[in-house]
Amino acid sequence: MVKSTINMLASEISHMPLHLVWRDSGVTQKHGFDLTVHVANADVADQPFVQMNERAPKLLEGTYDFLSGLHHEPYHYRARGDKRLVYLAQAQNDWDDRVIALPEIQSAKDLEGKRFIVTSRAPCVSGNLKHSLQLAGADLSQIEFIEVSSTPGRRCGAAVEALADGVAVAASVDPPFDLQGEKRGLHRLELPSVPVIHNATICANGDWVQQEEETTLAFLRSMIDAIYFFKTEKSASCEILERSLTPMIGLEGFDEVEHVYDVWAGLLSPKPFPHPLAVWNVYNLDVAHDPSVNFIGPFEIWDTSYLRDIDNSGYIDDLYGSAQAAENPAINVAI
């Protein structure tokens, strides 16, 4: 029997464009449940405040059925002998963060000797940013990386304001804050795209999954349906984002809603499998160089068997009309 309500915790508010559409588009009811989504480290009305270090414990104790994110902790848990945490699916395999900069910054090399604002120290965010800057020719030792004070969930908006005030010359932000920056005279600095496990990575307690296989399959089917809805129903998706995301992160107009939609619609994978290069990159950013953890292999914590069963049934191909139409977005193979 499928649980009537499934509870998910998102690691960051940046995951919410997909999750709000997933929650509010009606796709979960098709599979027999309602979806509740909370956000860690964010002050959101009508939900408890969840600290970042509470994510894995609250999943393992059963407060939440699934987590979105938790990109490195499962390796560390497994290295300590706790093999319960598993990844089941991956909504995107490419980095969606954008670098905005003052007009005089025209290349990554121009950042040397200057201050750069980062909105997260997580390896899958700041680590991937630095990797991309290196590929673009910057000497990281010559860049001062700083953070700005802000309430949880509002760091990107604060970064835009700090740049406009001259606190730094560039910042890494989530869409649509690159567009907000452009409205203030900033510009987007083009950097090499680097594949990485990012945003909506579905993590679960493997013991619970084995006991709740029907619920797990219903949840994954609804994820596939949510991605399809997002990619094919722009008007309805934007309506949900305008209603629910705008007050959550401080959007400044429908143009920003559409920008969020366009970025996410292009990145979401119809078949939410992890790409091997994305898995390797996120592993290399945090685990590969740590001898206390790196005896755990990159794919040891992944269990895509449930997703594979759904795919083998033809569910995704039928949804899109063919296997070719359900092809995942291409990634840049340079890591």
Q: Which regions of the chain does DSSP assign to beta strands (E)?
A: 5-10, 34-39, 66-68, 85-90, 98-101, 115-117, 144-146, 170-173, 187-189, 201-205
Q: Can you list the positions of beta strands (E) in 135-248?
A: 144-146, 170-173, 187-189, 201-205
The pLDDT value given to residue 157: 87
d(CA 321, CA 195): 27
Task: Look up tokens 């994510």; give the residue.
Answer: 55
| Tens of each residue's pLDDT in the chain, 335 residues | 999 999 999 999 999 999 999 999 999 999 999 999 999 988 888 899 999 999 999 999 999 999 999 988 999 999 999 999 999 999 999 988 899 999 999 999 999 999 999 987 777 778 888 989 999 999 999 999 998 876 666 788 889 999 989 999 999 999 999 999 999 999 999 998 889 898 999 999 999 999 999 999 999 999 999 999 999 999 999 999 999 999 998 899 999 999 999 999 999 999 999 999 999 999 998 899 999 999 999 999 999 999 999 999 999 999 999 999 999 999 888 65
Q: How far apart are CA 325 and CA 311, in angstroms?
A: 14
Measure Cα distances from 79 to 57, 248, 277 in Å: 16, 36, 22
- What is the pLDDT, as a whole number, of residue 312? 98
In the structure encoding, which two tokens stand for residue 18, read together? 């997909």
Q: Name the CATH topology of 98-189.
A: D-Maltodextrin-Binding Protein; domain 2 (3.40.190)
54 and 236 Cβ atoms separated by less than 8 Å: no
In CATH terms, the superfamily for domain 5-93+196-320 is: Periplasmic binding protein-like II (3.40.190.10)
Q: What is the pLDDT of residue 149?
A: 74
SS3 36: strand
Considering the entire predicted model, what is its pTM? Answer: 0.95
Q: Do domains 5-93+196-320 and 98-189 have the same CATH topology?
A: yes
- Please tell me what DSSP assigns to residue 243: I
Residue extents of the structural domains in the chain: 5-93+196-320, 98-189
Q: How confident is the model at residue 152, as a pLDDT?
A: 61
